[in-house]
Amino acid sequence: MIEIEAEIAGNVWKIEKAVGDRVSEEDVLLILESMKMEIPVEAPCGGRVSEIRVAEGDTVDEGTVLVVIEN
């Protein structure tokens, strides 16, 4: 199980994947908006999305767990 955390505080602008989706390394999971920039959050490895812990429009702090991937 891999927990993907926000590397920067911001707003969840768009969620690209859904629970149950298979992902490959570097697939974009969601997009954060911070300081008027869009920051893609990519999968660090392949696997299956088992949890999405945020919703579009949520404000998150650095270190917030966004998505969980199971290998």
Tens of pLDDT, residue by residue over 15-63, are: 999 999 999 999 999 999 999 999 999 999 999 999 999 999 999 999 9
Task: Give the amino acid at 42.
Answer: E
pTM (global) more than 0.85 = yes
* pLDDT attached to residue 22: 98
- Asked if residue 48 lies in contact with residue 21, where contact means CB atoms within 8 angstroms, the answer is yes
For residue 71, pLDDT beyond 90: no
- Tell me what pLDDT residue 61 has: 98
15 vs 20, 27, 43, 58, CA distance in Å? 14, 12, 13, 11
Q: How far apart (Å, rounded) are the C-alpha atoms in residues 51 and 36?
A: 27
Quote the pLDDT of residue 48: 98
| Every domain of the chain and the residues it spans | 2-70
21 CB-near residues (< 8 Å, 6+ apart): 48, 49
Domain 2-70: assigned CATH number: 2.40.50.100
